[in-house]
Structure 1
Amino acid sequence: MLHLRRFAQPSTLALTIMLGMYGSAWAQQPPPEIATESIQLDPAARKAPLPLDELRTFAEVLDRIKAAYVEPVDDKTLLENAIKGMLSNLDPHSAYLEPEAFAELQESTSGEFGGLGIEVGIEDGFIKVVSPIDDTPASKAGIEAGDLIVKIDGKPTKGMSMMDAVGMMRGKPGSDISLSLVREGGKPFSVKLTRAVIKVTSVKSQMLEPGYGYLRVTQFQINTGEEVGKALAKMRKENGKKLNGLVLDLRNNPGGVLQAAVEVSDHFLTDGLIVYTKGRIPNSELRFNADAADASEGVQLVVLINGGSASASEIVAGALQDQKRGVVMGTDSFGKGSVQTVLPLNNDRALKLTTALYYTPNGRSIQAQGIEPDITVTRAKLTREQAAEGVREADLAGHLGNGNGGPERPTMAPIASDSPRPQDDDYQLGQALNLLKGLNLTRGK
């Protein structure tokens, strides 16, 4: 369900706001009817005089390179490299998009693209894994959030640009690639992956136990809000009545389209502010409020986050936390609180420019800080102990019956489950489910 009234901004907002991560950003394709309009600029910026001395220096450097560099370099290459340099030195998320990169960015919102399924960033000059996407070559190979990619097919990544690294990792489906990684300061290790067409399902849901549902959002695409609404309705139908509790899993969710984050938050809120943005240009001042509809029916809610939860997923977690709508559990989120705007240029090129910071309802900027969970639960490996053989009172010969006529409970052999449950091997998810049960017990449900 789209809430277009929230976007009642000046018609000069000739771009689409997105909150995607680094190397595999998620961006909504700018509607054709507004793609050629111009953005409103800060009046002070319009009046600023041209930096003549710096422009003279730039022209002199250009001339010296053309005249003295060991190999001839054409003007187009020099100027495009200069543009890339301007953007890359602003912040990690601003970039100059050449036609291929611009097309890939637009393509990514469709939920199907080629590659490995890794969201990446830059840390200390190395390529860092922000999040592996579920059910992709990266996640199946065991790549984890926080891993540093030090080599791609044997080529060191130190100092490599984000666009170059992403370009090397993308390729023809079925082709192989080798990555060398370092995890938590350990020794480098290599993994071999086969590129695939990445078909991303942004929303997954299932019942954990009768009355308790599980909703996983892997990233925020254009239709994610609608898919979450369908998933909530489906779980309610499966349960036969209102759910007793729900786990909203945003772990390793690298972000996506702002509108989708707003719609997902709105499914759990009936009023109040969801998020607002602030920047220098008038168009960047946006506010998004919840409407009265409540697709979740006020269900008890636990939101799971971790270090791979970034951008749009932090908007959702921050809104639900500030509005006291649910308990946020897990570990600190990534801390990406800036808004990128895609500005189409001539010749199928574009700028991806950071134009604003976003703030939670209570005015928190999570930029470089992240969302701190209400209850910290770190990831852990579960090992099961064999139940010790024992004898209970009901096993003894001649034991007395239950005074109230209740059924006897002798020792029983463990029952093997044919269908393992996700909470059995996911410690954080199991703790979230236990919390929901505890909340319902204390509130008499």
Structure 2
Amino acid sequence: MHKSKTRRGGVTPSLLLLLTAYCLIVSSDVYASGLFSGLVVSQGDSASGGVKVVEIYPGCPAERAGVAAGDLIIEIDGRKIKTLDEFVKTSKARRDKDTEVGLVLIRKGKLQNLRVITYSEIIFKEWKEKVPPPPQSSIGGLSLFQYYMEKGKAKLGENKVGGAFETKLARDEEAARYLFYALHYNPTEVGVVLLIADTYMDMARLYLKNGQTPPAVENYGKAANLYEKCSRKHVAEKELELILTHLQEVEKELLSLLPPEEQGPVSAEKTTTGSLPVKASP
């Protein structure tokens, strides 16, 4: 019998197989509005067609990308846009399923190429997670990081007093959203990501307790994904041990969902510090 070695970023093959078997998409959900939300357009008066941006709401994806009122949109990801109807059809087909899109527009007689995204580039650069940026705001007396951290922790605290399944799930979802907003302002803070991963674990257990296995497995996958990423950062040994312990919990709880004959015996011997459980050799 052998034991797995402690290592940063370690996930056992059995856990990877489980996640693959359930076809998990482990990157975080995008809560944000669609790619074209916040845009008010009209038929362009140019001979070449296109749609004119009449108004654009502050903070919407297009505004963050640099689109401005008066711009003439003539192309969406290589597709020529000549009429308002074409824009409506193309934008409807793309707005909910895609997280980024390329635009070609005319501004003051010159062509511009812009990329519209619905996720925080800051978080994506650091964690490869596509989650929306926080809404634009100015909070007097508090940093935005602190503000959203406190809101997230408050929602998690509410769950400690109990509540119905739907209520507790909604609190967890709100908490995760606020914590991702906080992460936007301090993207290297591993502690925030660990708290988000813990929240996904809690959601997984809520779903499982409610008899909903697919969403439970999906949230286990999200938690494992974030724990794995945290383990690859420069963290203290104590934090690393905690992360790997959480990964053990994910694997154990996922294994419990398999039929008994497929679970296999798990070694009862104490594993090395930070290692994941190892199936006993036959």
The TM-score with structure 2 as length reference comes to 0.29
**TM-score with structure 1 length normalisation?**
0.20
Q: Which has the higher helix share?
A: 2
Which of the pair has the greater relative contact order for Cα pairs under 8 Å at 6+ separation?
2
